Homo-oligomer: A and B are copies of this chain.
Amino acid sequence: MDIATRVYNHKWKIDPIVRSLIDTDFYKLLMCQSVFRNKPDTQVTFSFINRSDKVPLARLIDEGELREQLDHIRSLSLSRGESTWLRGNTFYGKRQMFRPDFMEWFENLRLPPYHLERKGDQYELTFEGSWPEVMLWEIPALAVLMELRSRAVLNDMGRFELQVLYARAMTKVWEKIEQLRQIDGLGIADFGTRRRHSFLWQDWCVQAMMEGLGGSFTGTSNCLIAMRREVEAIGTNAHELPMVYSALAKDDKALAQAPYDVLSDWHEEHDGNLRIILPDTYGTEGFLQNAPDWLAGWTGIRIDSGDPATAAEIAIRWWQDRGEDPTEKRVIFSDGLDVNKIAELHKQFSGRVKASFGWGTLLTNDFRGLVPDDRLAPFSVVCKAVSANGRPTVKLSDNPEKAMGPKDEIARYKRVFGVGAQERIDVIV
């Protein structure tokens, strides 16, 4: 190692986990642009939630270190090269995906303050402010907490023990890739930024997918890695749009309409492969039943909760009912995937629809079984909008385990969206 590099590295007070504002999911930037255009003044609160009580984050992670990492993120701004890439690159076959007014705003952005407090063995971490700013905290906040937890566990391991740990993890990923290679016509992307073991590990996984899967690897949701590794940046939209739009709805009628308003705004901005319906925020079945006809003309659907095969069958029937040809439609599976599930879904749906896969936590954080007491196993954390302009948000999804929001509001949403009994499915990651 050269002396200059070493001295340079010594200058860091910390080893920063998130080193770039585009070390985030591509759909965050797409949604951010949409929010910047359509709802720039909405005031939101985002909150970090550890769904896994068994992982005592406040005992594992030093509060000072966590603050240093979060403060470091607040010091970041878009670099010239990153800005050039966002402005000049082709995303989903389209040039100038990000408009000049948005880019100018983004170039001047620093992330807003955070609020951190220890509550027992957990941290309460919240972000308040204007929606387009606060929303960009989600991914880096999750990545920091996940990686600090990894570091806490790795901290008391020897150098060769560490090397062997990573050797085992690499072997595990590679064996999965070798299995995936057997699947004809597979299309799969990395969706694992938010709950990754670490940045370097996600970067390794992406490169392994590139070499191991060739053309079957369609890209990564992580913008920084997409830029560096010269692969496609992948992603469309997420639950936060219907959640905030719905919270802002002034009455039940407006609430029932809100999720379609989201897609109506999206429809004006995007076409082609970016027109992907995320139908499960308040129950897939009702959402599709009540959807306007123009939505059936969209390119596809993303299935992110509940039993994926059931949801895909519902979508296929819905397209058929609306006179659409399902074989022309894209179905993106993105919830709790691992190799066997991917193989099974591909077998069931390839040919019937254009199936593809957004593989998340069990790609970038499958350290299960690699250390005693499974202290590196992934766990379920989220960072969600909990209120908008002072009104609470609600998420139901197709799995009651994933429901969020105040009880009375959940009841109201269930009534408005006509959600009946739902199957409970354990949330692993």
- Residues of A with Cβ closer than 8 Å to B? 1-2, 4-5, 158-161, 163-164, 166-168, 170-171, 174, 207-208, 211-212
Contact = CB atoms under 8 A, between A and B. Distances in A.
Contacts of A167: 166-168, 170-171, 174
18 contacts: A1-B2, A2-B5, A158-B211, A160-B211, A160-B212, A161-B174, A161-B211, A161-B212, A163-B170, A163-B208, A164-B171, A164-B174, A164-B208, A166-B167, A167-B168, A167-B170, A167-B171, A168-B171
B174 A207 contact: no
A107 to B, nearest CB: 32
Contacts of A161: 174, 211-212
A307 to B, nearest CB: 33
Instruction: Give the oligomeric copy count.
Output: 2
A1 B4 CA distance: 10
A164 B170 contact: yes
The residue among A158, A170, A207 with the most chain B CB atoms within 10 A of its own CB is: A170
Contacts of A1: 2
A93 B121 CA distance: 54
A207 B170 contact: no
A159 B208 CA distance: 9
Contacts of A5: 2
Contacts of A158: 211
A211 B166 contact: no
A292 B174 CA distance: 60
A168 B167 CA distance: 6
Nearest to A212: B160
Nearest to A170: B167
Given A163-B208, A167-B168, 19 more contacts: A1-B2, A2-B2, A2-B4, A2-B5, A160-B174, A160-B207, A160-B208, A160-B211, A160-B212, A161-B174, A161-B211, A164-B171, A164-B174, A164-B208, A166-B167, A167-B167, A167-B171, A167-B174, A168-B171
